[in-house]
Amino acid sequence: MKYYTGEIVKVSFPSAESEGHEIFGERPCLILVPFNSLKTSIVIPLSKGSLKKYSYLTIEVESKDNNGNVYKSFAQCHQIRSISHRRIQSNIGTLSEKSLPLLKFTLIDILDLDI
């Protein structure tokens, strides 16, 4: 299956592979960069928790009909990771186009990229 930037998918993160505060279990993730020929993607997990204390690390994702979210969630930009497409369980929806630039600016800041 081919994936695209901005898609929201359900991903399985086995608890046996998690350490400390790393995420685990099945959860929605935003595809940031798909490498379809390699069958991998860079994803950002979504969470129901607001993490207000760490608001500079998260982006709010509103629930909309087209993105498949049934509740307001937050993109946890500090939990960015590369995954195999085998971990993707299903497609949930798509991020709104207005949210993607804010997400990219947040990642530029977190990763301390000079652009």
CATH of the domain at 58: 2.30.30.110
Q: Which domain holds residue 89?
A: 7-110
User: What are the strands, taking DSSP E only, across 6-107?
Assistant: 7-13, 25-35, 40-47, 58-61, 73-76, 81-84, 88-94
Q: What is the mean pLDDT of residues 59-66?
A: 66
What the block records as the tokens of 70 is 């049934």
Compute the C-alpha angle 95/76/24, nearest 5°. 105
Q: What is the pLDDT of residue 47?
A: 84
Instruction: Answer yes or no: pTM beyond 0.85.
Output: no
Over the stretch 25-45, which tens digit does the pLDDT of each residue have? 899 999 999 999 999 999 999
Q: How many helices (H) and strands (E) does the chain have?
A: 1, 7
Q: Is residue 115 part of a domain?
A: no
Candidates 28, 19, 3, 18; CA nearest to 84 is 3
Q: Please give the tally of structural domains in the chain.
A: 1
